[in-house]
């Protein structure tokens, strides 16, 4: 057992790709070692700005020997009557380079054959490693490879050196066009020269002495700890998004955190704009107080141990000041006119060529939001319809602002700031930011009633419009993010407990595209059908992500509920039903009932003639059905689907007895039809909640 060290030294690797490259390299090498039957105790991956490396400890010296059985002709064809090998046997032996006398008999289910047990000697691990590492490098997820100088070898960045060692000895190979050796390089500035690696086990310690923290995760933890310590000194919390943390970790070999400051006057600017520019452009960690309000500090990570850190701090403060001043300028410039005045320029900005301007979209959002607000009022919610219309008209105004022009991610957020500065009602101002929620899977939902109305109206308007012009998502292409919008609609209606019918919303959204000159939607009926089908298809994606089984979703979709909140309540009921001991038998019985009814050649009656119930099992089932019908009626009125299915579980025994003792397809047509009517009532009871015949229990 020994230790293998592989290192590829490069020019600075792309920071956003470093962690994925490390993980892909390790995964590929592990897969190849496993396939080659080479064992090892542990494998550790390293990734720093100028290197990717793997250290494999306790690796076996060679592949194990293995036996391989070669099967030849059947015994009858291999030997003649006297037991002498035939030409077939001799030819088989010659092909293996052995004598016919060395052949053995192989017994199989299909008869006996001649054969040979061949020992394949395993290759030395060192003979395989160069190919394994080169294959792993070739398979890395690199979008665009480059060549360096006259070299024909391609990689994400020019390669400078390659290390491949077994313990203290070099493994002679060519990787990425470079001869392998035992020399590495340290920090670009603190230790730029080549240094000898005495033993493969010394790698991490040696680099540490050369000012390189080679372990990505250790480097990241150092950054997190330093950032927290500096934030604590000013009683603040650091904003540390994982993507930014990964990128900063990939930019430095030897992280040293420093805290700098900026003029407090910039804090009048929306803090989202300041945070955006400091994170995206400068890779800074911003600081907030305990209430989440931005503080006039930022923390940055330097890759050098300076004798005078103040010079670096002053340099960063000098660099960030013009960027913050730009944000301040845009913010003040926008305030020279009220938010409503910005809507004028929306009349010439196109939302979509066939669907009109952004102003027209704002008008449609206002009307649809008012419709939704009226529905919410009917359900007892406190919401002002006039304010909802006002919010709809202002909903896209900030798209014409200088601030959003510079920072597109501030759409909605900027509108909320400007609305408050214009003394718009708080309900209107808050909704302008909330209209874009949820922005991604698992994101928070709008909290205010008007925000909910705008979020629904905006998504529904886009969904209907894009489907109307035949731009529905295809395959992986979804340029208008309609799938995300659809799930956002469902989530809002479900999680905000809004008993609103999708049919009403989609119909109203389609009407919004009509005016005195006619409708922008040519095929209203087709658009309605397609949008409804699309919304219903998103349930599966949404619920499978929550761990709900596909058959449970299909059981509810089979009865096509149009109210998302109702759909969700049915899903939860079927999930609970699936846990019952009777569930499996009832699901099977429902499949049987469905099949029997589907095969019926006559129209099945809705009522049962009690006088024709001749068998005790069918009488018992009918009595249970009547009892269940009475019990579930008030439960259905309360939409207590879980209790409905719990109640219907009592039909398990009567149904089983019915199928065991009653011939449904009786020769007596009256009896047969009456029994079919009874089964139809059983089926109807379950279909009040879901089609449980879809369950695979």
pLDDT in tens, 491-541: 999 999 999 999 999 999 999 988 756 667 778 888 999 999 999 999 999
Pairing type for strands 194-196 and 183-185 reads: antiparallel
Question: What does the pLDDT average to over 77-98?
Answer: 84
In a domain, residue 553? The reply is no
646/674 same-domain check:
yes
Lowest mean pLDDT among 108-122, 438-452, 535-549, 646-660: 108-122
Q: How far is CA 10 from CA 18, 31, 133, 155, 191, in A?
A: 12, 24, 15, 9, 15
Q: Provide the number of structural domains found in the chain.
A: 5
487/434 same-domain check:
yes
pLDDT score at 665? 85
In a domain, residue 82? The reply is yes
539/523 same-domain check:
yes
SS3 613: coil
Q: Among 209, 242, 258, where does a domain finish?
A: 209
Domain of 281, in residue numbers: 216-334
Q: How far apart are CA 17 and CA 241, in angstroms?
A: 16
Greater confidence, 566 or 66? 566
594/642 same-domain check:
yes
Q: What is the mean pLDDT of the chain?
A: 92
φ, ψ dihedrals at 448, nearest 5°? -85, 150
Greater confidence, 296 or 73? 296
320/386 same-domain check:
no
* Share of residues in the chain with pLDDT > 70 (%): 99
φ, ψ dihedrals at 543, nearest 5°? -80, -35
Q: Among 314, 334, 354, where does a domain finish?
A: 334
Question: What does the pLDDT average to over 232-258?
Answer: 97
Q: Among 209, 238, 253, where does a domain finish?
A: 209
Q: How far apart are CA 357 and CA 350, in angstroms?
A: 4
Look at residue 270 and tell me whether its pLDDT is greater than 70: yes
601/481 same-domain check:
no
> How many Å separate Cα 367 from the centre of its chain?
34
SS3 620: helix
Lowest mean pLDDT among 85-99, 211-225, 351-365, 407-421: 85-99
pLDDT score at 134? 96
pLDDT score at 108? 84
Lowest mean pLDDT among 147-151, 154-158, 468-472, 585-589: 147-151
pLDDT score at 312? 96
Lowest mean pLDDT among 290-299, 399-408, 412-421, 596-605: 596-605
In a domain, residue 552? The reply is no
Strand partners, 196: 183
359/485 same-domain check:
yes
497/431 same-domain check:
yes
In a domain, residue 554? The reply is no
Look at residue 327 and tell me whether its pLDDT is greater than 90: yes
- Name the token pair of 187: 């920090």
In a domain, residue 559? The reply is no
- Name the token pair of 473: 């998502």
Q: What value does the CA radius of gyration of the chain take, rounded to a whole number of Å?
A: 36
Question: What does the pLDDT average to over 552-573?
Answer: 95
Q: How far apart are CA 26 and CA 41, in angstroms?
A: 14
- Residues 605-639 have pLDDT tens digits of 888 888 888 889 989 999 999 999 999 999 999 99
H or E element, residue 159? strand 159-166
205/223 same-domain check:
no
- What is the torsion angle, in degrees rounded to the nearest 10, for the CA atoms of residue 613, residue 614, residue 617 and residue 618? -20
In a domain, residue 412? The reply is yes
pLDDT score at 516? 55
520/578 same-domain check:
no
Lowest mean pLDDT among 12-16, 141-145, 177-181, 260-264: 141-145
- Name the token pair of 336: 């020279």
103/136 same-domain check:
no
Domain with residue 486: its CATH number is 1.10.3210
Q: Which of 567, 574, 598 is closest to 696 using CA atoms?
A: 574
- Name the token pair of 316: 């960063």
Residue 32 · residue 132 · CB < 8 Å: yes
């Amino acid at each position: 057992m020994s230790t293998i060290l592989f290192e590829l030294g490069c020019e600075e690797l792309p920071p956003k790709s470093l962690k994925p490259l490390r993980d892909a390299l390790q995964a590929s090498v592990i897969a190849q070692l496993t396939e080659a039957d080479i064992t090892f105790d542990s494998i550790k991956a390293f990734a720093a700005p100028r290197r990717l490396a793997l250290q494999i400890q306790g690796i076996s010296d060679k592949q194990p020997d293995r036996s391989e059985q070669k099967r030849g002709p059947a015994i009858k064809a291999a030997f003649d009557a006297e037991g002498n090998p035939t030409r077939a046997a001799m030819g088989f032996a010659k092909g293996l380079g052995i004598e016919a006398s060395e052949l053995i008999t192989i017994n199989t289910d299909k008869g006996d054959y001649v054969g040979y047990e061949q020992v394949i000697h395993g290759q030395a691990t060192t003979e395989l490693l160069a190919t394994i590492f080169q294959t792993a490098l070739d398979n890395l997820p690199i979008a665009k490879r480059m060549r360096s100088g006259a070299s024909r070898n391609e990689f994400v960045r020019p390669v400078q050196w390659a290390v491949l060692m077994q313990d203290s000895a070099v493994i002679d190979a060519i990787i990425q066009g470079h001869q392998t050796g035992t020399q590495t390089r340290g920090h670009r500035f603190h230790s730029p020269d080549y240094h000898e690696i005495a033993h493969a086990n010394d790698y991490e310690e040696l680099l540490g002495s050369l000012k390189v923290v080679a372990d990505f995760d250790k480097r990241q933890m150092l950054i997190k700890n330093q950032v927290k310590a500096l934030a604590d000194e000013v009683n603040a919390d650091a904003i540390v998004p994982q993507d930014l943390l990964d990128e900063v970790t990939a930019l430095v070999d030897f992280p040293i955190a420093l805290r700098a400051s900026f003029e407090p006057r910039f804090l009048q600017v929306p803090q989202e704009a300041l945070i955006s520019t400091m994170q995206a452009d400068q890779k800074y960690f911003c600081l907030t107080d305990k209430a989440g309000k931005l503080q006039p500090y930022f923390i940055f990570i330097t890759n050098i141990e300076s004798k005078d850190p103040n010079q670096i701090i002053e340099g960063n403060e000098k660099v960030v000041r013009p960027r913050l001043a730009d944000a301040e300028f845009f913010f003040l410039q926008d305030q020279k006119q009220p938010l409503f005045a910005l809507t004028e320029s929306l009349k010439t900005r196109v939302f979509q060529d066939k669907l009109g301007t952004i102003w027209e979209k704002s008008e449609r959002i206002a009307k649809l939001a008012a419709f939704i607000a009226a529905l919410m009022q009917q359900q007892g919610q406190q919401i002002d319809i006039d304010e909802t219309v006002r919010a709809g008209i202002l909903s896209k105004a900030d798209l014409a602002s200088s601030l959003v022009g510079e920072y597109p991610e501030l759409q909605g957020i900027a509108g909320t700031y400007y609305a408050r500065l214009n003394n718009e009602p708080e309900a209107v101002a808050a909704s302008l930011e909330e209209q874009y929620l949820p922005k991604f899977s698992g994101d928070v939902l709008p909290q205010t009633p008007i925000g909910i109305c705008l979020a629904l109206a905006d998504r529904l308007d886009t969904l209907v419009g894009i489907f109307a012009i035949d731009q529905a998502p295809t395959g992986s292409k979804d340029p208008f993010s309609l799938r995300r919008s659809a799930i956002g609609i469902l989530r809002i209606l479900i999680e905000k407990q809004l008993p609103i019918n999708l049919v009403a919303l989609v119909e109203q959204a389609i009407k919004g595209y009509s005016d005195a000159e006619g409708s922008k939607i040519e095929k209203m009926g087709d658009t309605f059908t397609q949008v409804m089908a699309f919304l219903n298809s998103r349930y599966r994606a949404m619920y499978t992500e929550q761990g709900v089984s596909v058959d449970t979703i299909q059981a509810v979709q089979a009865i096509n509920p149009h109210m998302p909140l109702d759909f969700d309540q049915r899903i939860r009921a079927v999930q609970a039903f699936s846990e019952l001991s009777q569930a499996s038998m009832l699901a099977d019985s429902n499949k049987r009932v469905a099949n029997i009814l589907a095969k019926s050649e006559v129209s099945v009656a809705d009522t049962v003639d009690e006088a024709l119930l001749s068998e005790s099992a069918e009488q018992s089932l009918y009595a249970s059905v009547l009892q269940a019908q009475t019990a579930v009626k008030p439960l259905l009125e309360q939409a207590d689907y879980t209790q409905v299915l719990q109640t219907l579980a009592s039909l398990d025994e009567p149904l089983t007895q019915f199928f065991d003792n009653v011939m449904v397809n009786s020769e007596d047509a009256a009896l047969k039809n009456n029994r079919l009517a009874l089964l139809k009532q059983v089926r109807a009871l379950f279909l009040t909640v879901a089609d449980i015949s879809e369950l695979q229990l």
